[in-house]
Amino acid sequence: MPFVWMKLVLLNLFGFWNTDVVVFGSVNLALNKPTRQTSEYGGGRFSFKAVDGNLSTHNLDCSHTTYPTDTPNWLMVDLKVEYEITSINVLNRPGDAGDKLRNFTVSVWQYDPGPHIKYNMVDTEYCICVHYPNTAERATWTNLTCTKICMGRFVLFILNYQEILSICELEIFGDIYNGCSTQYLPEMNIKKVEGKRSSSPNCPPLPYEVTNVYECIHQCLQMNNCISFNYGPNLINSVNCQLVRCFSHPKEDFTVDSDWNWRYLSR
């Protein structure tokens, strides 16, 4: 269980004693972590508003998407390293807007969830922490315990019906994964998207010159936090392998480019 150090000062008749005390409790893993969401509604209601520690339920202090189209609305948190996720808390908006936070699923991913987000997703790609079919109570917290412990780096909060998604605060709890359990060693696949490359403006790829795609795969597997890569058979400015270390938004982060193919790690 995560813990924090606190300094306890004891006073008696003879003076002060300083004593270090370990206080066990939960640490919010989501606080100020990188986030993305399906779309931006505008007015500064960005995805990071859901993890900034501000517990105001005013709509300008909450994340907010537009109405969904071909994919369900979602919000993703990148925890940067892998954790065993045990529970989440979600703070809802007041009024009628709060009634829209219902019928949602929280899933945990070892790999980039971006390529898989769609209606009726298949759960072989991820671990379901919790499915909540009800309507979250207005202007307060909904506290949910995972139905099973899920290990991963990315936490995806997704609505299972067509509606805007607005979250005032999302807290995620768990323990850092120590790498010892064999239950988290599924077969890994590398899937290809031809004629596109990941080009997130906030996550510049690491460039390499390699002799073939297998060497690019090796570079990605050896690189901490690499979850996908761009590969092209021909050198462009002495580069034909680009390692991507963060989530790729399925609609916003790709450039059509016949010189490159994007490959991502998957189960």
What does the pLDDT look like over 27-58, one tens digit per residue? 999 999 999 999 999 899 999 999 999 999 99
Between residues 223 and 120, which one has the greater pLDDT?
A: 223
DSSP 143-189: EEEEEEEEEEEEEEEEESSSS----SEEEEEEEE--S--GGG-PPPE
Contacts of 4 (CB under 8 A, 6+ apart): 23, 25, 27
Asked which of 103-107, 117-121, 188-192, 227-231 is least confident by mean pLDDT, the reply is 117-121
Q: Please state the rounded mean pLDDT for residues 186-208.
A: 88
Q: Give the Å distances, CA to CA, from 169 to 114, 121, 250.
A: 22, 25, 24
Q: What is the CATH number of domain 189-266?
A: 3.50.4.10
Angle (CA) 250 255 261, round 5°: 90
How far apart CA 256 and CA 197 sit, in angstroms, is 7
Q: Is the pLDDT of residue 70 over 80?
A: yes
Q: Is the pLDDT of residue 8 over 70?
A: no
Q: Is the pLDDT of residue 178 over 80?
A: no
Do the strands 228-236 and 239-244 form a parallel or antiparallel pair, or are they unpaired? antiparallel
Q: What is the mean pLDDT of the chain?
A: 88
Whether 192 contacts 261, CB under 8 Å:
yes
Between residues 179 and 56, which one has the greater pLDDT?
A: 56
How far apart CA 79 and CA 153 sit, in angstroms, is 5
Give the pLDDT confidence score for residue 108 in this predicted structure: 96
Q: What are the boundaries of each domain within the chain?
A: 35-178, 189-266
Domain 35-178, what architecture?
Answer: Sandwich (2.60)
Report residue 250's pLDDT band, with 50, 70 and 90 as the boundaries. Answer: confident
CB atoms within 10 A of CB 162: 11
Give the pLDDT confidence score for residue 182 in this predicted structure: 45
- Nearest Cα residue to 99 out of 134, 74, 130, 72: 134
Q: What is the pLDDT of residues 200-226, one digit of tens each?
A: 878 899 999 999 999 999 999 999 889
Give the pLDDT confidence score for residue 186 in this predicted structure: 56
Give the pLDDT confidence score for residue 120 in this predicted structure: 80
Report residue 123's pLDDT band, with 50, 70 and 90 as the boundaries. Answer: confident
